[in-house]
Chain A
Amino acid sequence: DGGITQSPKYLFRKEGQNVTLSCEQNLNHDAMYWYRQDPGQGLRLIYYSQIVNDFQKGDIAEGYSVSREKKESFPLTVTSAQKNPTAFYLCASSISLAGRTDTQYFGPGTRLTVL
């Protein structure tokens, strides 16, 4: 089955730790995205990538970092510089970045909690 997988489903972080969230897709999509969701709110874009070895900051990139070494993988690191990291993190992908009608497909999410 084609789709997007995220791991782990739940993640607990101590203050001062960096943690990495995994996102893998087998849809052969060029573009990938990371969003953050807080309770009762819509999604906010953290980072996006349109091709291997290229990525750009979204609206709330501070305290986060990404890499795109393979087309199918787009891991997100939440660093200790992120002041309020407790949230639900969603990875998405689409055929291309620029396609106005392209659908973004989402993974199941990772819930990060800071202890």
Chain B
Amino acid sequence: GNSVTQMEGPVTLSEEAFLTINCTYTATGYPSLFWYVQYPGEGLQLLLKATKADDKGSNKGFEATYRKETTSFHLEKGSVQVSDSAVYFCALRGWDSSYKLIFGSGTRLLVRP
């Protein structure tokens, strides 16, 4: 079945450092891929998405490229800020008629001044 694997956290960085959060997936066909962000005590907000191979999603300085050959959708940001501290979830929605979003377990990011 479909699944998503994220790197374990927490990830601790200094302000202005480069961020990579790895996400790989298992799915048949051409799933849609999403990154969501969750700030403490809040719901999930869509950060970016990509719906076909080689698409790049981007938002607020974050980017992720849909790599079908490596089944990956790694999240990157060139210069993180303290305000980026949150939990980041990678998710996929299957190519089949499945209604479900399949989530990874989340990666906590802590950015220090």
Contact = CB atoms under 8 A, between A and B. Distances in A.
Verify that A and B bind, or say they do not.
yes
Interface of A: 4, 6, 31, 40-43, 45, 48, 50, 58, 90, 92, 97-98, 100-109, 111
Contacts of A109: 41-43
Contacts of A4: 43
Interface in B13-56: 31-32, 34, 36, 41-46, 49, 51
Interface residues of B, number: 25
15 contacts: A31-B99, A40-B105, A42-B104, A42-B106, A43-B44, A43-B103, A45-B100, A48-B99, A50-B99, A58-B100, A101-B49, A104-B46, A106-B36, A106-B45, A109-B42
Interface string B69-113: 000000000000000000001000111010111011110000000
Contact of B106 (A41, A90, A92, A101): A41
